[in-house]
Chain A
């Protein structure tokens, strides 16, 4: 962000006095060093992002060309029960993974922020699922949820509960995936909270303690507000990543049973690369972007309110 503040200053310098040879050499070198990343990001990110929006107004197919059809794709989506259900499943998945994951992550981060032994070891345990591939992890959970010899049913039996068919039960499949989502995303959230906690000044806490504040008061008035910037960042990244869940669904359920886990990205993938309707699939991605945007905006609003209080 500092660069944004610097920009007017350097422009002023360039106009008020003639740039020296050194300044010009610096600027030239800057553009040369910047060019590859700039060109790369333009071709492989900016242009595709624009294409996605443009395609959503066409009946383009993966093979061949499409024509402009206005909002027809969006009108069709509004009546597409499979898509609406996918949107619903994605929202349920997000609502299941994000708040629960954030709450657990805060508790773990607070625990790890104490003066304890083997902190690095514990941190590693919580973070490992983040760095391992979702495909491998999904294969392991597929085996855990195996109805006949899996670990999950054995745990249920331990508590005297009835066996479940997990991923093949339309009512259980999505919650079962939510559990995996919480488990895998916990470490990333926890690390960010931990970094925020370590940024809270010790002196502030010590001062509050000397003023006779109880630990509970210190927590609510010093520690909790100190986590605010982290909340927003965790919220944004978590919502974005739970909307993007794909590998997990692909390996464990393939969108089934009876479309119970057919989340948005999976529906997009099917429409784009199996039905080859790239225009229609692009309209779905635009809707997905809008929903992510709305959720992030709501998160920002709620954060502003808590700050005011």
Chain B
């Protein structure tokens, strides 16, 4: 009985009509259970799903309260103070932070789309010596945690030759530290996206490319004009993942920049959350809402690509 009531497994019964006929003695309790199980199933999912979004609901509700309302606990705001959103944008240079985040997102994502997919295509479809070793090299890099790289990456970016007062050996100046280059160039490709693109291109047939070769299309032309358009889902998946990670990135901008004019939205949020004195919660929650909303919308509209991407890298990898 206990197992039959298991909310997770019970609905499987509804598809098991054959089993019900095979075992007539158990038919009466079994006929009732799917209904019960189904209710339990929806209950678990609804309560669980609600718990997942409670923090976001509370964030939004708080963002509409007045500054005095948040001194004591209240669930709903007394009135909708949309003014908070305007005040928040004025309380710190959030307009600038938004713009900076956009620059970083576009600056990283467009080159990634070209560089990672080209490499993925080459690894999947073109004959090269040592291709297997190169693929293994990318897979090995895939598992290096970013936190391990922060200190040495800082040193590499600081030692870019002939940048930021550096000599030809990369010494003497600050290199790319505190420039847009530091925020963008280290992230214009990623082993994860090379791998993801490769997984996608492997599944495309070579016939079309061969036909184009007979027609005299160049190899680069085949990639740009024939294969790339077929791989649109891969491009969308990579773009979505990259936009998300670029928008949400925090520790690298924290380490690599000190200039206010370069700092992205997440940095502004963190500073505001740690602001000296009392935190203005409604304004902070208004800013958090503005910072999370674009990514939530992006996910809701692109979820099929997000999920396909995860499934591709996860299970097949």
Binding site for B on A (CB under 8 A): 2-7, 10-11, 13-14, 22-23, 25-34, 36-38, 40-41, 43-49, 51-52, 55, 62, 104, 107-108, 110-112, 114-116, 120, 122-129, 131-144, 146, 148-151, 153-154, 183, 186-188, 191-192, 195-196, 199, 209-210, 212, 214-216, 218-219, 229-230, 233, 236-237, 240, 243-244, 246-247, 250-251, 254, 265, 268-269, 272-273, 278, 281-282, 285, 288-289, 292
Residues of B within 8 A of A33 (CB): 118-119, 121-122, 126, 220, 223
Tell me which of A137, A142, A149, A254 contacts B71 (CB under 8 A). Answer: A149
Residues of A within 8 A of B154 (CB): 62, 272
Q: Are A115 and B288 in contact (CB under 8 A)?
A: no
Q: Are A55 and B151 in contact (CB under 8 A)?
A: yes
Q: Are B296 and A128 in contact (CB under 8 A)?
A: yes
Q: Which residues of B95-151 have CB atoms within 8 Å of chain A's CB atoms?
A: 114-116, 118-119, 121-124, 126-138, 141, 143-151
Residue among A13, A36, A48, A125 with max Cβ neighbours from chain B (10 Å) = A48
Binding site for A on B (CB under 8 A): 3-4, 7-16, 18-19, 22, 38, 41-42, 44-45, 48-56, 58-59, 62, 70-73, 114-116, 118-119, 121-124, 126-138, 141, 143-156, 185-186, 188-189, 191, 194, 198, 202, 213, 218-220, 223, 244, 247-248, 250-251, 254-255, 266, 269-270, 272-274, 279, 281, 284-285, 287-288, 291-292, 295-296, 298-300, 303, 306-307, 310-311, 314-315, 317
Q: Are B45 and A132 in contact (CB under 8 A)?
A: no
Tell me which of B9, B44, B150, B299 contacts A272 (CB under 8 A). Answer: B150
Q: Are A52 and B151 in contact (CB under 8 A)?
A: yes
Tell me which of B14, B18, B71 contacts A209 (CB under 8 A). Answer: B18
Q: Are B149 and A52 in contact (CB under 8 A)?
A: yes
Residues of A within 8 A of B314 (CB): 192, 195, 230, 233, 237
CB closest chain-A residue, reference B101? A133
Residues of B within 8 A of A13 (CB): 127
10 extra A-B contacts, CB within 8 A, seeds A33-B223, A128-B56, A240-B145: A3-B124, A5-B132, A6-B131, A10-B129, A33-B118, A131-B298, A195-B307, A195-B311, A237-B314, A250-B270
Q: Are B122 and A30 in contact (CB under 8 A)?
A: yes
Residues of A within 8 A of B299 (CB): 124, 127-128, 131
7 contacts between A and B (CB under 8 A): A2-B202, A37-B194, A127-B306, A136-B269, A143-B284, A195-B310, A244-B146
CB closest chain-B residue, reference A155? B54
Q: Are B144 and A49 in contact (CB under 8 A)?
A: yes
Residues of A within 8 A of B317 (CB): 233
* Closest A-B pairs by Cβ, 9 of them: A29-B219, A30-B126, A37-B119, A7-B132, A48-B152, A125-B49, A133-B248, A51-B152, A195-B311
Q: What does DSSP make chain A's interface, helix, strand, loop or mixed?
A: helix
Give the distance in Å from the alpha carbon of A91 to the alpha carbon of B9 in the complex: 34
Give the distance in Å from the alpha carbon of A144 to the alpha carbon of B250 in the complex: 22
Q: Are A215 and B12 in contact (CB under 8 A)?
A: yes
Q: Are A137 and B134 in contact (CB under 8 A)?
A: no
Q: Are B152 and A55 in contact (CB under 8 A)?
A: yes
Residues of B within 8 A of A288 (CB): 145, 147-148
CB distance from A146 to the nearest CB of B (A): 8
Give the distance in Å from the alpha carbon of A235 to the alpha carbon of B213 in the complex: 45
Residues of B within 8 A of A134 (CB): 248, 250
Tell me which of B132, B188, B272 contacts A40 (CB under 8 A). Answer: B188
Residues of B within 8 A of A195 (CB): 307, 310-311, 314-315
CB distance from A301 to the nearest CB of B (A): 18
Q: Are A47 and B156 in contact (CB under 8 A)?
A: yes
Q: A111-B41, A111-B44 are in contact. Are A124 and B303 (CB under 8 A)?
A: yes
CB distance from B9 to the nearest CB of A (A): 5
CB closest chain-B residue, reference A241? B145
Q: Are A120 and B303 in contact (CB under 8 A)?
A: yes
CB closest chain-A residue, reference B299? A131
Q: Are A34 and B49 in contact (CB under 8 A)?
A: no
Q: A139-B284, A151-B58, A215-B3 are in contact. Are A132 and B296 (CB under 8 A)?
A: yes
Residues of B within 8 A of A41 (CB): 137-138, 141, 189, 191, 194
CB closest chain-A residue, reference B118? A33
